[in-house]
């Protein structure tokens, strides 16, 4: 698909293209995970790779997450560059020791002598009634442990550029992609799931937030789906005469404090929106950073919007009640600017 | 061993009920998802894993169970739930996300809990095996002769939880039976590409427990193998492993493009349909008449239709109910609201 000279790709194709180009460039890059072969990944992240590289470099694994994520760690320590998939982030429980105690800590515990150049990619997000064990984002759970770079891109352009950066990075990167932004045929079709993606390889830094809309009245910080919710809310706010500045965090760890603080110093108001649980989450971290470093720049208390502290319920009215969306962001921002 | 006619009739009716239930779900699930398939649309949204073709496993095993025996099931749970006697109306209402559902709409199709018949299931592969081991431990500590059965797929038999739980069960000689449904695929990955041994029965010896492999989706052979395993558990002689070869007629989930299997595979399987095979057996042996079978089929259909109707007519929960049921009793001072 192309519009003018710009080639348009869905999120999943952008990711798969990044992995393909890195596999072509570097024979140490290989892929492992459940259904990443013929199936191309449940969420399309490895589409076409099996046909291109075959079963040696695109390995379907048994349902043995501790085994194959641990094996990726072992292979990375030997100089391979595995890209390994945990199908849904919610399944972290069966392999968290490998992620939290090994992938995140070996470089540090070895005094920097062991490198783990690996990418763990995983699907996050709800909104399609997949209930409590298949709908979480768990951003904060992983951003909390020192030693992992944790990124969560929200556009096809960033999915490709950040995946290439992640594969080339010498540190373990947890690469979270949002199911609804993959552009899959069986999900609610969203405009945000398709976008311009250059054909040639390029990188996008893993430690920079992005101001995706400039404004003077309130800063709204979001990530992935919540960036898009914030953008939609900002359009509505603009018709009320309120100009919101929207920041797409892109990376949870490291956190780009500079971009957040610069924005808050300009707008004097902060709303943080998250598809993860409220307590101890990303919203708390961003709020704490601003409270510590820019409290006197604020004209109103910080506002947070996130999933209330309950598991994601199945039934549509229940799930819609707990998930933030553009309408809720709009309401919260309206209240905030009125203070 | 001659199987009592009443048991045969129960298994037949159960299998028919399961089949009608799953086939009804195929069309109900498609409502609101045509012409453009969208997993979050329609009266039954979310993932849907159906078990048409796998009826012999559920019926052949649960024929030996009592209401006070525990069953844990995986993400594909309807056949086990029906055979264990889960309240069909409330189960269906749960799948529709209604407030009359087993979990008031909070759980959905992969998370059905019916404590009245000691049934549970979940969406994390192999997680139910240790739960069944724990239920068996409780029965033993409470001096009861109840047993626990964990159902999992052959793909799940490569997960750590399965192996850890089997070792525990064998070590503590617990009354638990682990039943593996070998429907050949874990999503797109065939058993031979995921499992280092041809039969999971070979893994029993690693834990010092009896293990058998039942071939060809055969409900009568399943009944016998499960009967021995359950009886052994009830006698206090410890755990067993039963792997049953079965067939999955539908995709891994509804909407699965099934690029990993031959188009001819399912029609060939359907030619050997286990329900038809049991039907023929019952008639050929002169155990029942056509009229008897028609009665059983009608009763099964009526139960399914009643459950779907109940689910459709039930109300959705209040949105704010999302904030309830986290703790017992509900805390007064914890901030749950946005
Ligand atoms: C820990 C974990 N890993 C992966 C998955 C994703 N998943 C759901 S079903 C499935 C395949 C299961 O295969 P099998 O156990 O054979 O059961 P079947 O689907 O054939 O009934 C997978 C990989 C999951 N739910 N939990």
- The pairing of strands A210-213 and A218-222 is unpaired
pTM listed for this prediction: 0.97
Q: Do A67 and B336 touch (CB under 8 A)?
A: no
Nearest to A308 among B39, B158, B336 (CB): B336
- The finding on whether B302 has its CB within 6 A of some atom of ligand 1 is no
What's the Cα-to-Cα distance from A101 to each of A72, A97, A147, B33, rounded to whole Å? Answer: 14, 5, 10, 43
Report whether residue B131 contacts ligand 1, using a CB cutoff of 6 Å.
no
Chain B residues lying within 8 Å of A185, measured CB to CB: 37
Cis peptide before B329 (omega within 30 of 0): yes
**Which residues of A are part of the catalytic machinery?**
134
ipTM of the complex: 0.96
Q: Are A339 and A143 in contact (CB under 8 A)?
A: no
Task: Flag if A131 and B111 touch (Cβ within 8 Å).
Answer: yes
Residue A325: closest CA among A190, A208, A260, A231: A231
Q: Is the Cβ pair B158, A63 closer than 8 Å? A: yes
What residues 35-94 of chain B have any CB closer than 8 A to a CB of chain A? 36-41, 45-47, 94
The answer, yes or no, to whether the previous bond of B266 is cis (omega within 30 of 0) is: no
Would you state the pLDDT for residue B338? 45
Whether the CB-CB separation of A299 and A271 falls below 8 Å is answered with no
Best A59, A66, A315, A335 member to test B by mutation, with max B CBs in 10 Å, is A315
Structure tokens at B292: 């008897």
Segment-wise mean pLDDT, segments of 10 residues, chain B, 338 residues: 94 98 98 93 98 98 98 98 98 98 98 98 98 98 98 98 98 98 98 98 98 98 98 98 98 97 96 98 98 98 98 98 94 58
Testing ligand 1's pocket by substitution, the residue of B129, B162, B187 carrying the most ligand atoms inside 8 A of its CB is B187
Quick check: B253 contacting A, CB < 8 Å?
Answer: no
Average pLDDT, chain A: 97
Nearest CA in chain A to B163: A64
pLDDT value, residue B34? 86
> Cβ–Cβ contacts within 10 Å for residue B41, how many?
17
Residue-wise pLDDT tens digits, A23-65: 999 999 999 999 999 999 999 999 999 999 999 999 999 999 9
Q: What are B149's strand-pairing partners?
A: B71, B177
Angle at A249 between CA A248 and CA A251, to 5 degrees: 135
* Region A194-220 average pLDDT: 98
Q: What is the maximal distance between C-alpha atoms in chain B? A: 67
Record: contact A38-B260, CB cut-off 8 A: yes
Task: Find, in chain B, the residue whose alpha carbon is nearest to that of A39.
Answer: B188
pLDDT at A2: 46
Using most ligand atoms within 8 A of CB, pick from A39, A63, A135 the residue to mutate for ligand 1. Answer: A63
Q: How many CA atoms lie within 13 A of A312 on its CB side?
A: 27
């Amino acid at each position: 698909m192309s519009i003018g000279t710009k080639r348009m790709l869905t999120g999943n194709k952008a990711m798969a293209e990044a992995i393909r180009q890195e596999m072509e460039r570097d024979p140490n890059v290989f892929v492992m995970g459940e259904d990443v072969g013929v199936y191309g990944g449940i969420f399309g992240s490895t589409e076409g790779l099996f046909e291109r590289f075959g079963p040696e470099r695109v390995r379907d694994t048994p349902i043995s997450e501790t085994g194959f994520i641990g094996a990726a760690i072992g292979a990375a320590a030997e100089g391979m560059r595995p890209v390994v998939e945990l199908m849904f982030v919610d399944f972290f429980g069966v392999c968290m020791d490998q992620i939290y105690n090994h992938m995140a800590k070996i470089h540090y515990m070895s005094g920097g002598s062991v490198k783990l150049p690996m990418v763990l990619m995983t699907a996050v997000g709800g909104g399609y009634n997949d209930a409590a064990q298949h709908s979480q984002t768990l951003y904060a759970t992983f951003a909390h442990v020192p030693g992992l770079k944790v990124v969560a891109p929200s556009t096809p352009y960033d999915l490709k550029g950040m995946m290439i950066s992640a594969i080339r990075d010498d540190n373990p990167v947890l690469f979270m992609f949002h199911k609804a932004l993959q552009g899959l045929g069986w999900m609610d079709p969203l405009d945000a799931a398709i976008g311009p993606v250059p054909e040639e390889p390029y990188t996008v830094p893993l430690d920079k937030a992005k101001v995706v809309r400039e404004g003077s009245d309130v800063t709204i910080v979001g990530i992935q789906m919540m960036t898009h919710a914030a953008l939609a809310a900002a359009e509505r706010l603009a018709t009320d005469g309120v100009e919101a500045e929207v920041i797409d965090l892109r990376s949870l760890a490291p956190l780009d404090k500079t971009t957040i603080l610069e924005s808050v110093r300009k707008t004097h108001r902060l709303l943080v929106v998250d598809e993860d649980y409220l307590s101890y989450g990303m919203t708390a971290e961003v709020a704490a950073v601003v409270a510590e470093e820019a409290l006197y720049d604020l004209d109103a208390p910080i506002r947070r919007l996130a999933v209330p502290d309950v598991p994601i319920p199945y039934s549509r009215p229940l799930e819609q009640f707990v998930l933030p969306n553009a309408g809720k962001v709009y309401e919260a921002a309206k209240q905030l600017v009125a203070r | 061993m001659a199987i009592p006619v009443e048991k045969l009739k129960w298994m037949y009716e159960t299998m028919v009920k399961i089949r009608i239930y799953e086939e009804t779900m195929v069309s109900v699930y498609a409502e609101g998802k045509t012409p453009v398939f969208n997993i979050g649309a329609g009266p039954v949204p979310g993932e849907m894993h159906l078990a048409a073709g796998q009826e012999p496993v559920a019926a052949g095993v649960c024929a030996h169970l009592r209401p006070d025996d525990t069953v844990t099931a995986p993400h594909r749970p309807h056949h086990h739930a029906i055979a264990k006697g889960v309240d069909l109306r409330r189960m269906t209402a749960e799948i529709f996300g209604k407030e009359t559902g087993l979990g008031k709409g909070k759980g959905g199709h992969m998370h059905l809990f019916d404590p009245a018949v000691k049934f549970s299931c979940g969406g994390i592969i192999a997680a139910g095996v240790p739960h069944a081991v724990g239920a068996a431990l409780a029965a033993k500590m409470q001096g009861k002769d109840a047993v626990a059965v964990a159902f999992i797929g052959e793909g799940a038999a490569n997960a750590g939880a399965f192996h850890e739980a089997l070792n525990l069960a064998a070590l503590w000689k617990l009354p638990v039976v682990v039943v593996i449904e070998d429907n050949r695929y874990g999503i797109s990955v065939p058993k031979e590409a995921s499992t280092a041994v041809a039969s999971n029965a070979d893994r029993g010896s690693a834990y010092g427990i009896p293990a058998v492999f039942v071939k060809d989706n055969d409900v009568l052979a399943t009944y016998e193998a499960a009967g021995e395993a359950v009886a052994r558990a009830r006698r206090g002689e410890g755990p067993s492993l039963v792997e049953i070869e079965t067939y999955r007629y539908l995709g891994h989930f509804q909407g699965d493009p099934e690029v990993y299997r031959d188009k001819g595979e399912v029609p060939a399987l359907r030619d050997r349909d286990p329900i038809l095979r049991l039907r023929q057996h019952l008639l050929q042996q002169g155990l029942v008449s056509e009229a008897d079978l028609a009665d059983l089929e009608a009763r099964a259909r009526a139960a399914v239709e009643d459950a779907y109707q109940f689910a459709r007519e039930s109300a959705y929960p209040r949105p704010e109910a999302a904030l309830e049921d986290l703790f017992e009793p509900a805390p007064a001072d914890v901030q749950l609201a946005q």
